[in-house]
Amino acid sequence: MVKDKKGIVVYNERIISDPGMCGGDPVVKGTRIPVWIVLEALEVTPDRTELFADYPELTEEDIQAALSYAQDVVKRQGSSGSQKPDSDKQLAPI
């Protein structure tokens, strides 16, 4: 994770958090698509075909990066001994 002078956090090459975009939620770089949208869409319909139809600018690599980001967040929360987040609360950035 790297934070630049403008406050933009780069989690990996495809997931960033910009305080001036989408309320600072982690998004797929180059889009305004929050990671939580990608994860929610995959939860409802694991078949990526529908996700690509709804968001044609996404790539398979973007989806993998969103899943990797989510996995890192969960691992970090688990290793810190904290409880699972409430379903209505946003995951903490890594």
Q: What is the pLDDT of residues 13-67, one digit of tens each?
A: 899 999 999 999 999 999 999 999 999 999 999 999 999 999 999 999 999 999 9
> With respect to CATH, is domain 2-75 assigned 1.10.10.10?
yes
Q: Is 37 exposed, middle or buried (0-12, 13-18, 19+ CB in 10 A)?
A: buried
Per the model's pLDDT, the better-predicted residue between 84 and 50 turns out to be: 50
Cβ 69 vs Cβ 11: under 8 Å: yes
Please say if the pLDDT value at position 87 is more than 50. no
Please say if the pLDDT value at position 76 is more than 50. yes
- Residue 89's pLDDT band (cuts 50, 70, 90): very low
